[in-house]
């Protein structure tokens, strides 16, 4: 139902009746009328109810107003009656008064003086509370105490405290207002004592105020100076507790520690100024010396009236000259001075020393416990250094350092080092705790990163087996196949300034190019792990530098001259604990690396399913010392700065400086060397696991092919043979020409073994593998190959012929002999490298050779041996480039130059004396010899190999040693080389 518009009108519309009649009809106008009349009646009813409810309140208010009018009228009448009564008394008194003069006038004057004396005392008694409150508000507690004692003296003068028979004294009976005044002044004693003792707790309180507060306490409690000393020390101890129990808000800890130190220093200075008295007969203190004995001088001025200062310092001295009624006060009031019941004896030096020593011992326990609790909230060494520097600034101020040693000597009989005795050990312990927590966190995060990297590698192996690779696992893919990383191009392979900045100008910068990383086979996973660890260690190192002297002061900045420290006993050397600070970081970093190594060893002990994880951990341990320069800085400390200076010396002085530096090996250097040795040992252990697993896998395939017994299988492994014509002398003396067939290539399974071995080595970045790892790999393959060949000798094939088994014929024996000798030559070349004496061959090799030669006709064997050796030597030379890392440098040049004749059309040019993927280039013999003679000189090439190896086993194990050797050869060569390698050396460095 729609709402009637006539009933929804506003009040403003009702004011215009003409508009209503124009808009609505008659019926609607009647409804509007009824509605308005209803609202009017409703408002009338509400008004009646409101008047009825408030009427009673209005009547009460009117009655109250009437009563007030009557009361005020009666008061006015009473006052008028009193005025008339007093006027009548005055008239009666004037009529009864006799003639002037005589004894009545004298009595009246005496009575009037006594009256004024008592009135002035009563007035003073009424004003004293206000004066006491004013003195307390101004922190003049001695003045308040004197006024309180004067008030007590007034009580005695007026006999206000003498009540007989339970009745008030006559004065109280006549002046009842004094009853309330006596009750008001009763609590002043406790208030003054409480405020005086609270004043003793303040740090920024003058010596005069402290002495006056102590004198007030002594006067109110009638105590001795020793009791005042005890109160003072107890108040300061309570103030120390209050400072230690304040809520901690981060930056406020520095303010709390500085306040504690300031309170401790101020307490001893004020103890000297207030309680210490120089012994009798001591020389007069010089100008500018600290004042002492304030307590006894103030006490004497307040209580004694014999001194000139006491005569001019009365309790009511100022009030007497200003008030007119003060002249009626008796001399006992105006000349009042407080007194002590007991004589204030000065504190003996030994008693003062013992009391202060005991207080210092007690406060030391509280401060050490409290500050140690506060330092828990400091989470960085920067915060600790800020607090230490603030304390140093406080103790180095002239107001403290100038008199501190003298005050300690006079009070304690010994110097007091606030920093060394109270705070230094606390700060050092907190620093060690922070360093331990942070390094443990770094170790935990590094182990977590290592575990995730190993899991990613295992997942990548699974994806590779399934044939699915994603772009997100590119880093893990590079770990599985390092060669794909080495031969890939990236924008960061060369630094942006590599074209115009030389190696010498570049110096020892931390930035390394991507190509330099590839020369050392440092994969992205290894780089990421090392960069993460290095960044965390750098943050620790930067935080530590806030606690150590700045680098610009030099390495000897930790030593402070004795004269400077002795001239200012209050200031201290902030850097005396620098060795302990560096040792804390060193221990933390060593523990961190040990934790990472233990995690790596546990991963290695758990027999990883994939060799890529093993190689990742091996490369990681091998390169962490080089890719984490901040690890070295953390362990060596400031000695790393010295080493950097030594490395920056000119080249001609390097040997002299190096001999001087290495003459003394510090414990930090020994620890760093031991840590690198542990990392290298763990790396070699991982490489050993990889080499043994690789050798085992390759030799299993090799053994299956070697022990093949069917003719078809043997024929599939056969290779090329060569027809040779030989001339022999017959019995008649004529020359006889005959043809023989000899193998010139090894069997396919031998070639496959060497090729797969070379392929697997290059796939994992073989140029950066440590030389002992390659030696162990080749030795393991050779030993297992000899085991497989030796197992053939144990089978008696001459007597037992099995159906389907191909017999060991002369040709097969000749091929196996060629295979064995070629395999032995290729795999044993590395083992002979760098040794002066000939490598001791496995006796089984000769036994197997003799066993195979038994299957060859002796006459044919004599004929076959020279060309067979020539074929073997030629094959070794031709396959040395293909095998690459498997062949040694001496096999490439030394033996080859002695074995080749002048008709051999092939020769090779060595590029380096170390391993390289493509280390040799074909070149004619004449050109090669001319190049050698012009560039190297008369020395044979093989003489450079022992020199490079004798540089140190550590440099030989380090990845990228090849390129450093190339750079050294380029710099040290007396004549221009065949081509320059400066660009290669710059990338390696």
For residue 317, pLDDT over 80 is answered with: no
- pLDDT for the residue numbered 48: 85
- pLDDT surpasses 90 at 234: yes
**Average pLDDT over the chain, rounded to whole?**
76
- How confident is the model over 125-142, as a mean pLDDT? 87
DSSP annotation of 721: E
Residue 358 has pLDDT above 90, yes or no: yes
Give the tens place of pLDDT for each residue, 824-848: 888 885 444 444 444 457 788 888 8
The pLDDT, as a whole number, for residue 347 is: 87
The length of the chain, given as a count of residues: 989
878-884: average pLDDT: 80
Tell me the pLDDT band of 979, cut-offs 50, 70 and 90.
very low
Query: At residue 639, does pLDDT exceed 70?
Result: no
Residue 795 has pLDDT above 80, yes or no: no
Question: Cα separation of 325 and 322, whole Å?
Answer: 9
Average the pLDDT over 402-427 and give the result: 89
What is the average per-residue pLDDT within 516-526? 83
CA-CA distance, 237 to 197, in Å (whole number)? 12
Confidence of residue 230 (pLDDT cuts 50, 70, 90): very high
**DSSP bridge partners of 729:** 735
Question: Is pLDDT above 90 for 595?
Answer: yes
Residue position matching structure tokens 């304690």: 412
Q: What six digits make up the tokens of 733? A: 């003396």
Confidence at residue 2, expressed as pLDDT on a 0 to 100 scale: 53
Which positions ≥6 away from 975 have C-beta within 8 Å? 934, 935, 937
Q: What is the pLDDT of residues 598-628, one digit of tens each?
A: 999 998 887 666 788 888 889 899 889 888 9
Q: What angle do CA 638, 639, 645 make, to 5 degrees?
A: 100
pLDDT of 166 above 60: no
Question: What per-residue confidence (pLDDT) applies to 598?
Answer: 93
Beta bridge partner(s), residue 922: 908
| pLDDT classification of 505: cutoffs 50, 70, 90 | low
812 pLDDT band (50/70/90 cuts)? confident
Per residue in 446-457, pLDDT (tens digit) is 999 998 888 888
Contacts of residue 767, Cβ cutoff 8 Å, sequence gap at least 6: 519, 521, 885, 915, 916, 917, 962
Q: Which residues of 225-252 are buried (b: 16+ CB within 10 A; e: fewer)?
A: bbebbebbbebbbebbeebbeeeeeeee
The pLDDT-based confidence of 362 (bands split at 50, 70, 90) is very high
Rg (CA), the chain: 55
pLDDT digits (tens, 9 = 90+) for 777-788: 888 898 888 888
pTM above 0.85, yes or no: no
The contacts of residue 582 (CB under 8 Å, 6+ apart) are: 544, 548, 637, 638, 668
Residues contacting 111, CB < 8 A, separation 6+: none
Query: Mean pLDDT, to the nearest integer, of 535-543?
Result: 92
| Residue keyed to tokens 């233990």 | 598
Residue-level pLDDT at 345:
82
List pLDDT tens digits, range 253-270: 888 899 999 999 999 999
- Which helix (DSSP H) or strand (DSSP E) does residue 880 occupy? helix 858-883
Helices (H) and strands (E) in the chain, counts: 46, 4
Give the separation between CA 634 and CA 671, rounded to whole angstroms: 12
Give the per-residue pLDDT at 426: 92
pLDDT at 336: 81
Structure confidence at residue 314 (pLDDT): 59
Q: Which residue has the higher pLDDT, 653 or 172?
A: 172
The pLDDT of residue 481 is 79
The pLDDT of residue 56 is 79
pLDDT above 50 for 674:
yes
Mean pLDDT of the region 631-650: 66
pLDDT value at residue 462: 58
pLDDT score recorded for residue 961: 45
Backbone angles phi, psi at 176, to 5 degrees: -60, -20
What is the phi/psi pair of residue 910, to 5°?
-75, 135
Residues 461-493: tens digit of each pLDDT: 655 555 555 544 566 677 777 777 878 877 877
pLDDT the model gives residue 665? 78
Average pLDDT over residues 380-390: 91
203 compared with 181, residue with greater pLDDT: 203
Q: Do 889 and 868 form a contact (C-beta atoms < 8 A)? A: no
* pLDDT one-digit tens code per residue, 328-344: 788 878 878 888 877 77
**What is the pLDDT, as a whole number, of residue 448?**
92
* CA dist., res. 95 & res. 956, Å (int): 139
pLDDT bracket for residue 911 (50, 70, 90) = very low
Task: Decide which of 346 and 938 is more confident.
Answer: 346
Q: Which residues of 357-389 are buried (b: 16+ CB within 10 A; e: fewer)?
A: eebbeebeeebeebbeebbeebeebebbbbbbe
> Tell me, what's the pLDDT at 287?
56
* Averaged pLDDT for residues 21-32: 87
Q: Where does the pLDDT of residue 980 fall: very low under 50, low under 70, confident under 90, or very high at 90 and above? A: very low
For 727, the 3-state DSSP assignment is: strand
């Amino acid at each position: 139902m729609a709402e009637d518009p006539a009933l929804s009108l506003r009040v403003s519309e009702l004011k215009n009746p003409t508009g209503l009649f124009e808009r609505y009809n008659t019926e609607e106008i009647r409804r509007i009328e009824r509605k308005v009349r209803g609202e009017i009646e409703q408002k009338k009813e509400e008004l009646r109810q409101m008047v009825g409810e408030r009427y009673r309140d209005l009547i009460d208010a009117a009655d109250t107003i009437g009563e007030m009018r009557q009361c005020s009228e009666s008061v006015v009448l009473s006052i008028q009656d009193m005025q008339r009564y007093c006027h009548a008394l005055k008239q009666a008194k004037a009529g009864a008064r006799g003639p002037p003069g005589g004894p009545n006038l004298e009595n009246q004057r005496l009575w009037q003086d006594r009256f004024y004396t008592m009135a002035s005392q009563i007035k003073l008694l009424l004003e004293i509370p206000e004066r006491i409150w004013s003195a307390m508000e101004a922190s003049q507690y001695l003045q308040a105490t004197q006024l309180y004692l004067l008030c007590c003296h007034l009580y005695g003068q007026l006999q206000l405290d003498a009540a007989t028979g339970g009745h008030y004294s006559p004065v109280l009976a006549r002046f009842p207002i004094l009853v309330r005044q006596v009750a008001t002044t009763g609590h002043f004693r406790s208030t003054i004592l409480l405020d005086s003792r609270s004043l003793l707790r303040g740090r920024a309180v003058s010596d005069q105020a402290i002495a006056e507060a102590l004198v007030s306490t002594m006067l109110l409690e009638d105590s001795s100076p020793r009791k005042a000393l005890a109160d003072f020390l107890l108040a300061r101890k309570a103030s120390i507790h209050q400072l230690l129990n304040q809520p901690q808000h981060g930056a406020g800890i520095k303010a709390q520690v500085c306040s504690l130190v300031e309170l401790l220093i101020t307490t001893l200075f004020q103890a000297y100024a207030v309680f210490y008295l120089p012994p009798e007969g001591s020389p007069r203190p010089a100008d500018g010396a600290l004042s002492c004995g304030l307590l006894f001088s103030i006490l004497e001025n307040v209580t004694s009236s014999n001194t000139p200062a006491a005569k001019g310092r009365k309790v009511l001295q100022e009030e007497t000259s200003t008030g007119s009624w003060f002249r009626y006060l008796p001399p006992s009031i105006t000349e009042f001075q407080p007194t002590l019941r007991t004589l204030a004896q000065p504190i003996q030096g030994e008693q003062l020393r013992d009391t202060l020593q005991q207080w210092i011992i007690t406060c030391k326990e509280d401060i050490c416990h409290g500050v140690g609790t506060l330092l828990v909230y400091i989470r960085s060494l920067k915060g600790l250094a800020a607090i230490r520097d603030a304390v140093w600034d406080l103790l180095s101020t002239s107001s403290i350092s100038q008199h501190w040693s003298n005050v300690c000597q006079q009070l304690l009989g010994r110097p007091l080092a606030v920093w060394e005795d109270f705070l230094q050990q606390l700060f050092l312990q907190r620093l060690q705790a922070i360093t331990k927590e942070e390094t443990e966190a770094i170790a935990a995060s590094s182990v977590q990163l290592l575990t995730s990297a190993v899991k990613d590698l295992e997942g990548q192996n699974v994806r590779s087996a399934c044939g699915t690779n994603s772009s997100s696992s590119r880093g893990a893919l590079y770990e599985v196949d390092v060669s794909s990383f080495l031969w890939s191009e990236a924008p960061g392979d060369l630094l942006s300034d590599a074209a115009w900045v030389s190696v010498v100008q570049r110096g020892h910068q931390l930035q390394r190019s991507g190509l330099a990383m590839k020369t050392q086979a440092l994969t992205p996973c290894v780089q990421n792990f090392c960069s993460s660890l290095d960044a965390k260690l750098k943050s620790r190192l930067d935080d530590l530098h806030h606690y150590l002297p700045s680098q610009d002061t030099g390495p000897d900045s930790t030593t402070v001259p004795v004269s400077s420290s002795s001239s200012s006993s209050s200031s201290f050397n902030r850097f005396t604990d620098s060795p302990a600070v560096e040792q804390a970081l060193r221990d933390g970093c060593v523990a961190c690396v040990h934790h990472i190594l233990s995690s790596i060893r546990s991963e290695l002990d758990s027999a990883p399913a994939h060799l890529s994880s093993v190689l990742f951990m091996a490369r990681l341990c091998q390169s962490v010392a080089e890719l984490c320069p901040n690890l070295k800085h953390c362990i060596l400390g400031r000695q790393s700065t010295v080493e950097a200076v030594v490395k920056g010396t000119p080249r001609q002085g390097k040997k002299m400086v190096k001999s001087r530096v290495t003459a003394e090996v510090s414990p930090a250097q020994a620890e760093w060397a031991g840590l690198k040795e542990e990392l290298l040992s763990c790396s070699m252990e991982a490489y050993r696991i990889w080499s043994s697993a690789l050798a085992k896998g390759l030799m299993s395939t090799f053994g299956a092919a070697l022990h093949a017994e069917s003719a078809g299988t043997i024929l599939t492994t056969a290779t090329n043979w060569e027809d040779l014509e030989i001339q022999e002398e017959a019995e008649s003396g004529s020359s006889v020409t005959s043809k023989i067939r000899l193998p010139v290539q090894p069997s396919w399974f031998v070639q496959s073994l060497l090729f797969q071995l070379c392929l697997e080595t290059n796939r994992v970045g073989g140029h950066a593998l440590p030389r002992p790892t390659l030696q162990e790999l080749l030795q393991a393959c050779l030993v297992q190959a000899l085991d497989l060949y030796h197992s053939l000798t144990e089978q008696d094939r001459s007597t037992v012929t099995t159906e389907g088994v191909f017999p060991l014929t002369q040709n097969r024996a000749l091929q196996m002999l060629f295979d064995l000798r070629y395999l032995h030559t290729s795999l044993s070349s590395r083992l002979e490298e760098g040794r002066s004496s000939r490598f001791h061959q496995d006796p089984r090799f000769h036994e197997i050779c003799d066993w195979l030669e038994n299957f060859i006709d002796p006459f044919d064997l004599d004929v076959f041996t020279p060309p067979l050796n020539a074929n073997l030597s030629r094959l070794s030379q031709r396959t040395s480039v293909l095998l690459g890392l498997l062949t040694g440098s001496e096999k490439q040049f030394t033996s080859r130059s002695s074995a080749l004749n002048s008709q051999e059309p092939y020769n090779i040019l060595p590029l380096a004396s170390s391993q390289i993927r493509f280390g040799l280039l074909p070149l004619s013999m004449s050109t090669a010899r001319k190049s050698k003679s012009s560039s190297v000189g008369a020395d044979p090439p093989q003489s450079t190999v022992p020199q490079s190896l004798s540089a140190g086993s550590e440099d030989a194990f380090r990845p990228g040693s090849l390129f450093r050797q190339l750079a050294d050869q380029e710099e040290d060569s007396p004549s221009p080389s065949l081509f320059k390698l400066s660009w290669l050396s710059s990338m390696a460095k």
